[in-house]
Amino acid sequence: MLPTIVLVGRPNVGKSTLFNRLTKSRDALVADLPGLTRDRHYGRGIGGDKPFLVVDTGGFEPTAESGILKEMARQTLLAIDEADVIIFLVDGRQGLTPQDKVIGDRLRKSQRPVLLAVNKTEGMQRAIVSAEFHELGLGDPLSISSAHGEGVRDLVELALEPFGEPEREEISNSDRVPMIAIVGRPNVGKSTLVNALLGEERVIAFDEPGTTRDSIHIDLERGGKHYTLIDTAGVRKRGRVFEAIEKFSVVKTMQAIEEANVAILVVDAQEGITEQDAHVAAYILDSGRALVVAINKWDGLKDDEKDWIKREIDRKLQFLDFAKFHYISALKNKGLAELFPSVDGAFKAAMAKLSTPQLTRVLIEATTQHQPPISKGIRPKLRYAHQGGSNPPIVIIHGNHVDGVKDSYKRFLEGTFRKVFQLTGTPLRVQFKQGNNPFATDDDKPKPGEGIVSMRRRKTAQRAELKARSEARDNPDAEKTGAKKLVRKPIVRVTKPRANNKARAKK
């Protein structure tokens, strides 16, 4: 197994900055605000001579007895238990604090190797800055700067020195596993669902909206299959996002949806289907991600309330008819067994490979049963189809006058393809591509601002003119012989004016 390095320290000493430096990513939120990180955050170390895993933890408050700080401390203690090496970060600019001493005493009792790193020492005399931290009794302090990278490589090499080279299969690239994003409004039970699926208290589940602030990636093995769960922050209405940290959390959630293969939308059954639930679902649909909907807290409803919620789902989430709905209770671990078969089916549908001959046959049968409606005096002709991408599946249809295909007919084709190829759980996109005539000249193409009917009239006039010129070339002696050309003249009717009543009386 790869060695695991756990970053521990009091709040706002630079643990997340060091995590991003070691993983060469921006996965962990970084801001000058204590208590930003709350859950354990895992990543793969990059850049060292040996591969390793690095764990970012929340600010460690060992003396916290209640509230969110106690939950954060418990998460840190769980990370310490699974650590091979602990890097204890302290702030060189603030100096040694009583809280650092309490954390140092706690780490000595863990029986794990501990390296003391004095952070934020850029531009300072390192020997003087680190001198007072010898009082912790954790060996010689190493002065580093996680923001600028000073001394970080020496710290990592010292941490990995006791470990040998990993076996070849450990560093080989593994097969791609489905990435599943757990999304929804705040306090609907996303973290509780993650813990229920994992069978352990992996992330903080607290009865307070906004507990989860960052997107946490967690590996999961279930039924012999490997998955990566992404626990995300709750997405509020845009007008109700006030804190800068919460704005960052919403951005991280949107990024997690884009990164995932399948999204599990968690809805609170006791609060009903809200406008924000539909908003999050619409974003997932626009991103093209496969979707499974989990109606949580189902066990706390009466029969008439359950019937009402189902009617609300049919009315407000009708545009998610391609997805499967599951009624679960994450807290009591009910209904979760049927969740992952739907996730597997949605992932399979999102990654499906559709052959060109089958797509074309389905297209021909669909257009035979129901032709595209006429648009601007002409009926679009759809000739053949092929796949243009996956996650979501994209079907590209070639034909003539495809700009006139109406949205209703496009939805008809999407439903037909999804039904024939059994693509349950994933949206499907149909794109049209205009066929080009290789023998067409500039006159055969529509002019700027010219419609199809106007172009037809112009081309008809051009053909009539060409025909007249051709006849003139065929009969060059017509004018010399005095032959007269038959010209169709317009018929003019001459009618006599009616006599008035006085004239009739004289007669």
Q: Which of 222, 280, 235, 289 is nearest to 262 (CA)?
A: 289
Q: Which of 106, 163, 98 is nearest to 138 (CA)?
A: 106
Name, in order, each residue with C-beta under 8 angstroms of 8's C-beta and a sequence gap of 6 or more: 15, 57, 60, 76, 79, 80, 86, 87, 88, 89, 103, 107
188 is in an annotated binding site: yes
CA 74/CA 78 separation, integer angstroms = 6
What is the per-residue pLDDT for 32? 45
Q: Is the pLDDT of residue 35 over 50?
A: no
CA 242/CA 247 separation, integer angstroms = 7
92 is in an annotated binding site: no
Q: Is the pLDDT of residue 364 over 90?
A: yes
Q: Are 396 and 385 in contact (CB under 8 A)?
A: yes
60 is in an annotated binding site: yes
460 is in an annotated binding site: no
11 is in an annotated binding site: yes
448 is in an annotated binding site: no
pLDDT digits (tens, 9 = 90+) for 431-461: 998 876 555 566 656 666 666 677 778 888 8
Q: Are 427 and 288 in contact (CB under 8 A)?
A: yes
39 is in an annotated binding site: no
Name, in order, each residue with C-beta under 8 angstroms of 11's C-beta and a sequence gap of 6 or more: 34, 35, 58, 59, 61
Q: Are 403 and 366 in contact (CB under 8 A)?
A: no
189 is in an annotated binding site: yes
186 is in an annotated binding site: yes
Average pLDDT estimate for 97-116: 86
Higher pLDDT, 489 or 261: 261
120 is in an annotated binding site: yes
56 is in an annotated binding site: yes
Pull the structure tokens for residue 35.
């208590």
Torsion of CA 389, 395, 400, 402, to 10 degrees: -100
pTM of the model: 0.56
232 is in an annotated binding site: yes
- For the chain, the C-alpha Rg in angstroms (whole number) is 36
Beta bridge partners, 481, equal none
298 is in an annotated binding site: yes
123 φ/ψ sector (left φ>0, alpha ψ -120 to 50, else beta): left
Q: Which helix (H) or strand (E) holds 285?
A: helix 275-287
What is the per-residue pLDDT for 65? 59
Average pLDDT estimate for 46-64: 72
234 is in an annotated binding site: yes
pLDDT digits (tens, 9 = 90+) for 131-185: 888 888 888 899 998 888 888 888 888 888 888 765 544 433 345 688 888 888 8
Q: Are 194 and 274 in contact (CB under 8 A)?
A: no
What is the per-residue pLDDT for 394? 92
100 is in an annotated binding site: no
415 is in an annotated binding site: no
222 is in an annotated binding site: no
Q: Which of 318, 173, 294 is nearest to 229 (CA)?
A: 294
Q: What average pLDDT does the chain have? A: 78
Q: What is the DSSP letter of 72?
A: H
231 is in an annotated binding site: yes
19 is in an annotated binding site: no
Please count the other Cβ atoms lying within 10 Å of the Cβ belonging to residue 452.
14
289 is in an annotated binding site: no
What is the per-residue pLDDT for 356? 92
CA 1/CA 16 separation, integer angstroms = 24
233 is in an annotated binding site: yes
CA 238/CA 213 separation, integer angstroms = 16
12 is in an annotated binding site: yes
Q: Are 297 and 273 in contact (CB under 8 A)?
A: no
52 is in an annotated binding site: no
Name, in order, each residue with C-beta under 8 angstroms of 253's C-beta and a sequence gap of 6 or more: 183, 215, 232, 233, 234, 235
What is the per-residue pLDDT for 213? 46
Q: Is the pLDDT of residue 503 over 80?
A: no
Q: Beta strand 52-56 with 41-45: parallel, antiparallel or unpaired? A: antiparallel
58 is in an annotated binding site: yes
Which domains, from first to last, does the chain contain?
Answer: 4-171 (3.40.50.300), 179-350 (3.40.50.300), 356-434 (3.30.300.20)
CA 69/CA 420 separation, integer angstroms = 53
What is the per-residue pLDDT for 395? 92
pLDDT digits (tens, 9 = 90+) for 329-348: 888 888 888 888 999 999 99
What is the per-residue pLDDT for 234? 58
pLDDT class for 273, splitting at 50, 70, 90? confident
Alpha helices in 406-496 (DSSP H): 407-420, 452-474
Give ∠ CA 13-25-39 in degrees, rounded to 5. Answer: 55
